């Protein structure tokens, strides 16, 4: 039995690209904080190398013995950490931009939510296999069966969305949840109900935060001319917002993408990373890659992501175990929605939400968590009939 080599090497390639651009795109931050020019590169190289090693180790483990305890441990332990974080001293919990999402340990920090997502997806797969599909197919019966999951998700919304002020992760988890519910065997009516519920939660979260309202209004100010041109004049006039400005970062992100052209400026030769896009090596990494590698380069990166997603979907589809099937689908959907939210945000198609690009953005927690999830998928791939030599 062999693991999926294509998935492993594709992931390694994406990690390597992220390491290269952690050096190329971090120029302004290095100068601003007077770091060594290799500061971010060395850190990302160490974490990336360890992540690849972790994938290899996990791929060797027997999933029938270790997958369930590993994932449920991540789910429960990370949930516990997120619950107690508000009560921990500031010397342990690190706050960035008003959000306390990181636990500081000696020499590094990590975000429990990144590993919690993996455990949560496995918990859903494990539980749905036991609870969904064996009851009468009426809407009311389905709602009653899903009610405990709705309650659990509401608690998660409070912990992540309110205490950690991280709406982006809630949107990702909410979308994964409703798609997994559909894949587990519920009716399409439940899927529509789930979409409406997630939309309601997002609208409620936006309307209860002045900061989020301002972010929506600034996004609409930059997008309204295109959208309103397709609507009748009387409706367009009512939706018109006067005096709004496109978010500073997003406008420069779009300019950076445009500046890259077809073939790009060349690795290391981008200009918008020089203070215009201060977070370009993190949340705006795709814009930085687009400027330096151009349309061809960004298509290559997106192509690698599609290969990665295809291999995960294929492993899940060919798994005989339904828990493994749902888990693979959930992880693939998590990567897909994360990529879409970031990509659409930096191009102003949707409001920007600070969320890292898997494998590419600088940061240890999300990179290690992403490699862990791929390692777990590789663990499962040994028992899927993929026809891999």
b (16+ CB within 10 A) / e for 203-236: eebeeebeebeebbebbbbbbeeeebeeeeeeee
Tell me the DSSP string of 248-273: HHHHHHHHHHHHHTTT-S-TT--STT
Indicate yes or no: pTM above 0.75. Answer: yes
Residue 98 has pLDDT above 70, yes or no: no
Q: What is the mean pLDDT of residues 283-312?
A: 94
Provide the 8-state DSSP code for 157: I
Between these two residues, 104 and 245, which has the higher pLDDT value? 104
d(CA 263, CA 320): 44
Give residue-wise pLDDT tens across range 327-383. 999 999 999 999 999 998 888 777 777 788 999 999 888 999 999 999 999 999 988
Q: What is the mean pLDDT of residues 13-39?
A: 88
Give residue-wise pLDDT tens across range 121-146. 999 999 998 887 655 567 788 888 88
Confidence at residue 133, expressed as pLDDT on a 0 to 100 scale: 63
Contact indicator for 330, 176 with CB cutoff of 8 Å: yes
Element (H, E) at 108: strand 108-110
* Spatial CA neighbour of 25 closest among 273, 196, 236, 224: 273
For CA atoms 331, 96, 288, 22, the dihedral sign is negative
Q: What is the mean pLDDT of residues 276-300?
A: 89
Confidence at residue 389, expressed as pLDDT on a 0 to 100 scale: 35
Name the most confidently modeled range: 170-179, 246-255, 268-277.
170-179
Give residue-wise pLDDT tens across range 179-236. 999 898 888 888 888 888 888 877 887 777 776 777 777 776 666 666 655 566 666 5
Which percentage of the chain shows pLDDT scores above 70?
A: 87
Confidence at residue 99, expressed as pLDDT on a 0 to 100 scale: 64
Q: Is 389 helix (H, G, I), strand (E, B) or coil?
A: coil
Confidence at residue 387, expressed as pLDDT on a 0 to 100 scale: 45
Average pLDDT, rounded, for the chain = 85
Confidence at residue 388, expressed as pLDDT on a 0 to 100 scale: 41
The residue count of the chain comes to 389
d(CA 174, CA 176): 5
Residue 244 has pLDDT above 70, yes or no: no
In this structure, the number of other CB atoms found within 10 A of the CB of residue 345 comes to 24
Tokens of residue 146, six digits: 């899903």
d(CA 258, CA 264): 9
Residue 247 has pLDDT above 70, yes or no: no
Between these two residues, 177 and 224, which has the higher pLDDT value? 177
User: Model confidence at 6, in pLDDT bands (50, 70, 90)?
Assistant: very high
């Amino acid at each position: 039995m062999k693991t999926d080599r294509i998935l492993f090497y594709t992931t390694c390639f994406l990690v390597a690209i992220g390491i290269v651009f952690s050096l190329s795109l971090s120029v302004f931050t290095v100068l601003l904080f007077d770091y060594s020019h290799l500061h971010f590169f060395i850190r990302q190289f160490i974490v990336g190398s360890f992540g690849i090693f972790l994938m290899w180790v996990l791929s060797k483990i027997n999933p029938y013995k270790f997958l369930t305890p590993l994932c449920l441990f991540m789910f429960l332990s990370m949930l516990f950490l997120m619950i107690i974080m508000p009560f921990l001293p500031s010397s342990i919990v690190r706050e960035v931009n008003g959000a306390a999402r990181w636990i500081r340990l000696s020499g590094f920090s990590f975000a429990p939510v990144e590993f919690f997502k993996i455990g949560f997806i496995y918990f859903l797969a494990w539980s749905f296999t036991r609870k969904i599909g064996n009851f009468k197919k009426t809407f009311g019966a389905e709602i009653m069966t899903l009610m405990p999951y709705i309650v659990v998700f509401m608690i998660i919304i409070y912990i992540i969305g309110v205490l950690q002020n991280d709406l982006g992760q809630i949107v990702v988890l909410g979308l994964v949840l409703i798609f997994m519910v559909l894949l587990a065997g519920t009716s399409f009516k439940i899927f529509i109900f789930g979409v409406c519920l997630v939309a309601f939660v997002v609208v409620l979260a936006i309307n209860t935060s002045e900061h989020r309202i301002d972010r929506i209004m600034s996004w609409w100010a930059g997008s309204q001319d295109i959208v309103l041109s397709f609507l009748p004049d009387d409706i367009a006039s009512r939706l018109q917002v006067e005096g709004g400005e496109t978010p500073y970062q997003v406008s420069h992100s779009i300019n950076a993408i445009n500046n890259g052209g077809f073939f790009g400026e060349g690795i290391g030769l981008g200009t918008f990373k020089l203070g215009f896009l201060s977070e370009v090596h993190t949340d705006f990494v795709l814009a930085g890659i687009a400027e330096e590698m151009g349309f061809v380069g960004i298509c290559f990166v997106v192509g690698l992501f599609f290969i990665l997603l295809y291999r995960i979907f294929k492993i899940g589809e060919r798994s005989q175990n339904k828990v493994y099937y749902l888990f693979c689908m959930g992880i693939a959907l998590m990567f897909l929605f994360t990529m879409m939210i970031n990509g659409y945000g930096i191009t102003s198609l949707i409001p920007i939400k600070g969320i890292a690009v898997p494998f590419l953005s600088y940061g240890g927690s999300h990179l290690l968590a992403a490699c862990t999830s791929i390692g777990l998928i590789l663990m499962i791939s040994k028992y899927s009939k993929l026809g891999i030599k």
